[in-house]
């Protein structure tokens, strides 16, 4: 990929390597590996495994080396590496300087090939996830997220938090059987972005991950059975035990067509315009300074459908009225459309920040480079972003708003403290 200066390599054992050398941060190399199929591969009859995966693997060490040894190893070499269970892959993400890159690759190789069975660390992982369940009782954001994920996934345990007794019953043997199948025998796609020599780095990866036994090629998101999202409209409420007078409001609408990057950018523009309108209306009508956020949510998965979301925190006594106000503002947008001023106010800052985005290593690593071979359509994203933003029309924006912002499709979630 000469125009993007991205190098794509596939080793004889099936491991894929994607590299982009940059001078954005001197002597810094960022690394991210996508391994196996992630949370979506969790066996349906074993809910809670994905919750335990990261707490356990980040503290269990590798092979004969426990976590205290790994902490000394990484501290002495100024490098980092962390494990996460994401929707469509397990990820190992880290960073190092040029001198320590060989050590980082050795550590990465150990994580994907040399499992550690440590009952004490598994018990500690169980203890850590108790806090996730406790936060639902006390924190509005956690309660709201729990309620929304349960609702939109219809309690699919690959996305929603399962009942605690189910998670508590998971065993180390169950977890490691899953991890060994996905992490220690699954596909590997590795991305590196930063200040390194390309040929030298290819050789180093060839002698570590490229020397592992044969791995399958990444199958891509299309091969996974995605969590079906519900389009059912309605209102749902959660209450938390908190003395802090803070509520959280989330209003969302099902959207589609997101596999097409231009359509995704148009819908994201609709979300930004709606966010700005909500902010103005709240200040003018309520005299309040509540600051809404907007998001286009797909569970970090490449899929056609998702949700346009507006979220804001508020005083509990205002929460119900704010939720209705957000829905009314969206309905007015749907019926009457945006103005050119609305469009320019949303698009121009995005165009202005595009050069900064293109000089950001994390943008390249997370969104473009790491999955470049399994999801090659991503390579067009940096090529087309500015041109798309400059050419998005008011007609496109208003058509998307008219299609998606129906009041009878809104899903409203509110989390408030007990009165």
Q: Where among 167, 193, 223 does a domain terminate? A: 223
Angle formed by the axes of helices 340-357 and 380-391, nearest 10°: 150
In terms of domains, do 244 and 218 share one? no
Q: What is the pLDDT of residue 184?
A: 94
Both tokens of residue 291?
Answer: 């600051």
pLDDT of residue 2: 78
Residue 147 within a domain: no
pLDDT in the model for residue 220? 64
Tokens (6 digits) for 307 = 């949700």
> Residues 381-414: pLDDT tens digits?
999 999 999 999 999 999 999 999 999 999 999 9
Q: Residue with structure tokens 């009165």?
A: 419
Q: Same structural domain for residues 170 and 314?
A: no
**In this predicted structure, what is the pLDDT of residue 225?**
86
pLDDT score recorded for residue 223: 60
Residue 142: alpha-carbon gap to chain centroid: 16
Q: What is the 3-state secondary structure (H, E, C) of 210-240?
A: HHCCCCCCCCCHHHCCCCCCCCCCEEEEEEE
- Residue-wise pLDDT for 232-257, tens only, equals 999 999 999 999 999 999 999 999 99
Q: Is 345 exposed, middle or buried (0-12, 13-18, 19+ CB in 10 A)?
A: middle
Is residue 277 domain-shared with residue 160, that is, in the same domain? no
Q: 65 and 12: one domain?
A: yes
Say how far apart CA 419 and CA 194 lie, in whole Å.
Answer: 52
Both tokens of 84, joined, read 């996460």
- 244 and 322 housed in the same domain: yes
Residues 296 and 410 in one domain: yes
Same domain, 215 and 241: no
Residue 1 lies in a domain: no
Contact call for residues 221 and 187 (beta carbons, < 8 A): no
Structural domain total, the chain: 2
Q: Residue 165's domain is classified under what CATH number?
A: 3.30.830.10
Using pLDDT thresholds of 50, 70 and 90, give the confidence band for residue 219: confident
What's the order of all strands across the beta sheet hosting 247-255? 234-240, 411-417, 247-255, 306-314, 293-297
Residue 285 scores a pLDDT above 80: no
In a domain, 229, yes or no: no
Where among 223, 253, 282 does a domain terminate?
223
pLDDT band of residue 419 (cuts 50, 70, 90) is low
Residue 133 shares a structural domain with residue 262? no
Judge if 174 and 124 occupy the same domain. yes
Cβ atoms of 37 and 182 closer than 8 Å: yes
Asked whether residue 112 falls in the same domain as residue 216, the answer is yes
Residues 207, 351: one domain?
A: no
Asked, for residue 144, whether it belongs to a domain, the answer is no
**What value does the CA radius of gyration of the chain take, rounded to a whole number of Å?**
23
Q: 355 pLDDT band (50/70/90 cuts)?
A: very high
Residue span of the structural domain in which 134 resides = 6-138+154-223
Q: What pTM, to 2 d.p., does this model score? A: 0.94
């Amino acid at each position: 990929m000469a125009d993007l200066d991205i190098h794509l390599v596939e080793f004889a054992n099936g491991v894929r390597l994607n590299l982009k050398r940059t001078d954005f941060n001197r002597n810094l190399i960022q690394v991210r590996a996508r391994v196996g199929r992630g949370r979506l591969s969790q066996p349906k009859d074993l809910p809670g495994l994905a919750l335990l995966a990261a707490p356990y693997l980040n503290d269990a060490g590798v092979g004969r080396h426990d976590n205290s040894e790994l902490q000394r190893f990484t501290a002495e070499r100024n490098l980092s590496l962390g494990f996460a269970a994401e929707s469509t892959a397990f990820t190992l993400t880290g960073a190092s300087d040029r001198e320590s890159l060989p050590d980082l690759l050795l550590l990465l190789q150990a994580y994907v090939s040399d499992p550690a069975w440590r009952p004490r660390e598994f018990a500690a992982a169980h203890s850590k996830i108790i806090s996730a369940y406790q936060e639902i009782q006390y924190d509005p954001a956690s309660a709201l997220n729990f309620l929304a994920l349960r609702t939109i996934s219809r309690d699919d345990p690959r996305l929603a938090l399962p009942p605690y007794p189910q998670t508590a019953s998971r065993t180390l043997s169950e977890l490691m059987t899953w991890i060994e199948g996905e992490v220690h025998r699954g596909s590997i796609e590795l991305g590196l972005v930063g200040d390194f020599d390309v040929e030298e780095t290819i050789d180093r990866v060839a002698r570590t991950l490229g020397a592992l036994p044969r791995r399958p090629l990444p199958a891509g998101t299309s091969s996974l059975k995605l969590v079906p999202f519900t389009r059912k409209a309605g209102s749902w409420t959660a209450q938390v035990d908190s003395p802090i007078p803070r509520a959280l409001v989330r209003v969302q609408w099902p959207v589609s067509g997101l596999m097409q990057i231009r359509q995704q950018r148009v819908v994201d523009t609709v979300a930004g315009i709606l966010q700005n309108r909500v902010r103005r209306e709240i200040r003018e009508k309520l005299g309040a300074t509540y600051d809404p956020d907007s998001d286009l949510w797909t569970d970090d998965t490449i899929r056609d459908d998702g949700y346009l979301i507006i979220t804001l925190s508020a005083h509990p006594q205002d929460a119900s009225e704010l939720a209705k106000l957000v829905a009314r503002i969206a309905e007015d947008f749907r019926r009457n459309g945006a103005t050119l001023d609305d469009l320019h106010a949303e698009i121009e800052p995005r165009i202005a920040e595009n050069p900064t985005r293109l000089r950001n290593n994390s943008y390249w690593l997370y969104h473009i480079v790491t999955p470049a071979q399994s999801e090659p359509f991503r390579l067009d994203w940096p090529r087309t972003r500015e041109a798309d933003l400059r050419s998005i029309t008011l007609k496109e924006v208003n058509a998307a708003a008219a299609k998606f912002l129906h009041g009878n499709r809104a899903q409203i979630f509110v989390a408030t403290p007990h009165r």
